[in-house]
Each structure stands twice: as structure tokens, then as C-alpha cells.
Amino acid sequence: MNPGSSGIYCPTVEFTTESGESVRFESEYGTMPASHTVGETVKVFYDPRNPKAAEIESALATWLVPGLWMFFAFLTFIFSFLFFVFHFLMALKS
């Protein structure tokens, strides 16, 4: 694991694909303090066509990022709905 300039640890992972190719990558998601130890086995997700674009299975990668997108989409829907209802009610009063 390599501590970045801000002290965040981004794990460096080495794995072998099903086809036997050895791949080494640094995770895009870091933590402080380090969430993994050297030599620890972790689950890795990768595209067999591009194994260098791999990532460690983590709650951050799996749930947080998609969850934030869904949250912002929901807020956009609510504000749009309220905007149209408000304008509809104002049109009825005129």
C-alpha cells in the first residue's frame, strides 16, 4: 500500500486472470487509515477484455458512488415535480 501525498492509502493489488495473465494495479479508492494489510486476500472485479481496469470490491465502489447518483437523480425529480405543480397551480389561479 502506498500512502498518497495526503496520507490516504490506495492498495496496490496483484492478481492472475483466468487466462493466466499477471496484472498489478493501484486501487482508485483509498482510505485513511489503511483498510487492508500487506498479503491480505481481496476480491477483485475486472473486465476480462481489459484486466488492467480492475478494482477491489468495496462498499465505496459498489454502493456509495451509484447511491450518490441515485440520490441526486431523486432530488432532481422531486424539484422538477414541485416546479411543475407550482406552475400548474399558479396557472389555475390566473
Q: What is the mean pLDDT of residues 75-79?
A: 96
**Per-residue confidence (pLDDT) for residue 6, from 0 to 100:** 64
- Find the domain containing 67 and state its range: 58-94
**Per-residue confidence (pLDDT) for residue 63, from 0 to 100:** 78
Decide: 54 and 18 in contact? Cβ < 8 Å.
no
Give yes or no for residue 92 having a pLDDT over 80: yes
Are both 47 and 18 inside the same structural domain?
A: yes
Are both 49 and 73 inside the same structural domain?
A: no
Are both 16 and 37 inside the same structural domain?
A: yes
Decide: 28 and 45 in contact? Cβ < 8 Å.
no
Are both 32 and 8 inside the same structural domain?
A: yes
Are both 68 and 52 inside the same structural domain?
A: no
Are both 51 and 65 inside the same structural domain?
A: no
Give yes or no for residue 3 having a pLDDT over 60: no
Average pLDDT, the chain: 84
C-alpha cell at 65: 458512488
Please write down the HEC assignment for all residues of the chain.
Answer: CEECCCCCEECEEEEECCCCCEEEEECCCCECCCCCCCCCCCCEEEECCEEEEEEECCHHHHHHHHHHHHHHHHHHHHHHHHHHHHHHHHHHHC
pLDDT band at 39; cut points 50, 70, 90:
confident
pLDDT tens figures, 45-63? 888 899 888 888 877 667 7
How many Cβ atoms sit within 10 Å of the Cβ of residue 39?
5
Are both 66 and 79 inside the same structural domain?
A: yes
**Per-residue confidence (pLDDT) for residue 24, from 0 to 100:** 93
